[in-house]
Structure 1
């Protein structure tokens, strides 16, 4: 990551679980972690899992059992996964919630069983700690750049995603940025592409058919942006630019191409997010409450101008 991003990260992480209250108890050993996240086919979630797994083994040794499951935005599936973690008596549950409210009963059950529960990437009721990107800022940053690139005027499509807080915030942040420019018209902002490139390909194809004049497309993540990029190419449409959120290796590689229409992505650091969630969760296990229970990570925009200085995500 860039030096500036590292500085922002240091401030964000210092504000969260690094200032832990002392515990008078002997340290508990970390032996097992259950993790449930969105879609493991998405490199973002794979990187979350890698960071969490690496930190768990750093804290508990190579024999720590880390079970990582994908809920694929199915709430009932995630509830079942958490129930199984409870039955297995894991020490800690790390989750990216499929629904911030529907999980409350099962998370209460987990905590009643003495299991530490932490969230990442999105907030959820009933957890003891959450680390996530500042998704409003991510959407705002991405769409401020988008607006500048189209001269603060034109027709824009917002490709949305699953009905979770992170997605709502990214859409609202984008709309906040675009609202400053009365000559920008939002053609669509409510089509759920499921957070996948396949979903975005279909949604974008439909919207390009529906709207003959489009100047820019904002996507809620890089996987969707790659799908939208393919749809634009297949439709042989010109004069369209794309921005998104994640700062993934694939997106940055595309942004670096001189003539690519993919021009910017607000960056996240999923590996650090996963690592920090387990680190702070381990502190909570041992009676050390974090100074803040919600930490928002920075989301600087990666563009063609600065992509060469952006180190990006750690390899899987």
Structure 2
């Protein structure tokens, strides 16, 4: 499978050309099913909004049904089967497990439904639209490492998702450039929630007496970690994360321990996912099955200028 990192403008231009080339008898987009990890996460809310806007641009009467798996693979299987039974034309899925989701994707494709993976990879999907997650982890932790100089770091992830794994990999690569930095933990799953991030951080703060830095693969965990640090009144700890959400930007501008995040563009992911899916429905497969969107580093210094999602 080939892949290439695209600038957002280049992707949009390429898709616009492809959509303009659709035959007059193009298959109608009547319904779209979207399954994401949690609609309590602002990131996925924005992704669904972007997808819905793109779908309604194609067909103002399209039905868009977005559901939340709550990171339960069994529930996501049921959601996928419900989409199939409802006869949707297109499915966007943020897979809870990139490999285990494969049978559900095959069932959808056998029913003539195009499947596009968004945010994270999913085995067998017709196309994937995601952030360059390795780069996202790398630029956030390069900044974290530079600000720390030396000391102990803990990393929170969100389970065996491709994006989660890639961000941790990129982070550890960046931190590895600092001889004085040691990663104490990198395998605790906060499920991308504030509660998860807070509970893991409370445990880490009680287990390790000397923590100087934290990287979380998503911002709900980062904000939870910040709450834990304040609850235990620990000083001298800085946090970096990934997403670029409005809550994180507010945290960067306020009195918190968050110093940087590598932003994504969930609305763009949702828009491109629908546009690529519509092309697939009409015999126009993407030039590259994996589209990677570049992240942007947002810090306390440039948060005021950042145009987020």
- Quickly name the TM-score band, shorter chain normalised: over 0.9
Deviation for aligned residue 1:23:
5.6
Q: Deviations over 1:215-252 (max 9, x none)?
A: 01111111100000000000100000011000100001
Unaligned runs of 5+ in 2: 1-5
- Does 2:142 correspond to 1:144? yes
Task: Name the structure 1 match of 2:53.
Answer: 54
Deviation for aligned residue 1:12:
4.6
- Aligned mate of 2:283, from 287, 291, 298: 287
Q: Deviations over 1:17-56 (max 9, x none)?
A: 4553956571111110111001100000111111111111
TM-score norm. by structure 2 comes to: 0.94
Deviation for aligned residue 1:119:
0.9
Checking the alignment, whether the CA contact within 8 Å between 1:36 and 1:68 is kept in structure 2 is: yes
CA distance, structure 1, for counterparts of residue 24 and residue 110 of structure 2: 20
Task: Name the structure 1 match of 2:92.
Answer: 94
Secondary structure at 1:79 match in 2: helix
Checking the alignment, whether the CA contact within 8 Å between 2:155 and 2:214 is kept in structure 1 is: yes
- Aligned mate of 2:266, from 265, 270, 278: 270
- Does 2:151 correspond to 1:154? yes
Secondary structure at 1:34 match in 2: strand
- Aligned mate of 2:200, from 194, 197, 203: 203
Deviation for aligned residue 1:202:
0.4
CA distance, structure 2, for counterparts of residue 69 and residue 303 of structure 1: 32
Task: Name the structure 2 match of 1:296.
Answer: 292
Checking the alignment, whether the CA contact within 8 Å between 2:214 and 2:237 is kept in structure 1 is: yes
Task: Name the structure 2 match of 1:104.
Answer: 102
Task: Name the structure 2 match of 1:35.
Answer: 34
CA distance, structure 2, for counterparts of residue 144 and residue 295 of structure 1: 24
Secondary structure at 1:119 match in 2: strand
Checking the alignment, whether the CA contact within 8 Å between 1:162 and 1:192 is kept in structure 2 is: yes
Deviation for aligned residue 1:311:
1.2
Task: Name the structure 2 match of 1:4.
Answer: none
1:124-135 residue pairs with structure 2 within 5 A?
124-135=122-133
Checking the alignment, whether the CA contact within 8 Å between 1:263 and 1:303 is kept in structure 2 is: yes
CA distance, structure 1, for counterparts of residue 38 and residue 212 of structure 2: 30
RMSD, matched Cα: 1.5
Structure 1 range deviating more: 229-238 or 105-114: 105-114
Unaligned runs of 5+ in 1: 1-6
Q: How many residues align?
A: 303
Task: Name the structure 2 match of 1:3.
Answer: none
Task: Name the structure 2 match of 1:216.
Answer: 213
Q: Moved runs in structure 1, 4+ residues, more than 6 A?
A: none
CA distance, structure 2, for counterparts of residue 24 and residue 40 of structure 1: 35
Deviation for aligned residue 1:65:
1.0
TM-score norm. by structure 1 comes to: 0.92
Secondary structure at 2:170 match in 1: helix
Checking the alignment, whether the CA contact within 8 Å between 1:160 and 1:190 is kept in structure 2 is: yes
Deviation for aligned residue 1:288:
1.3
Compared with structure 1, are the counterparts of its residues 172 and 14 closer, same or farther at alpha carbon in structure 2 (3 Å cutoff)? farther
Secondary structure at 1:189 match in 2: strand
